[in-house]
Amino acid sequence: MRARVHVTLKPGVLDPQGEAVRHALGSLGFEGVGEVRMGKVIELDLAEGDPGAARDRVTEMCEKLLANTIIENYTVDVA
């Protein structure tokens, strides 16, 4: 079973990396680029065969390790 986790900064949390990308795109001549936000994708191979159980497991991983829930949101997709 494969899980994909998206970890993104919460709205309002400053994103210097995204800001740097926005400036770099401007320098390269790309116009009309507004806000840029950077996040992480984490793809996991799981031995767990049940989608519901896998989702619960990965949610627990997010809470404990994969995301900093003070400043980050996460979403879990299981396939």
Which residues of this protein are in contact with its own copies, per CB under 8 A?
Answer: 6, 8, 18, 21, 24-25, 28, 30-48, 57, 60-61, 64-66
CB 22 to its own copies: min, Å: 8
Q: How far apart are the first and last CA of the chain?
A: 6
- Cβ closest to its own copies, residue 35 vs residue 70: 35
- By the 10 Å C-beta count (0-12 exposed, 13-18 middle, 19+ buried), 42 is classed as middle
- For its own copies, which is the closer residue by CB, 11 or 70? 11
Q: How far is the CB of 10 from its own copies (least distance, A)?
A: 13
Alpha-carbon distance of 64 to 6, in angstroms, equals 15
Kind and range of the H or E element at 56? Answer: helix 51-61
Least distance CB 70 / its own copies (angstroms) = 19
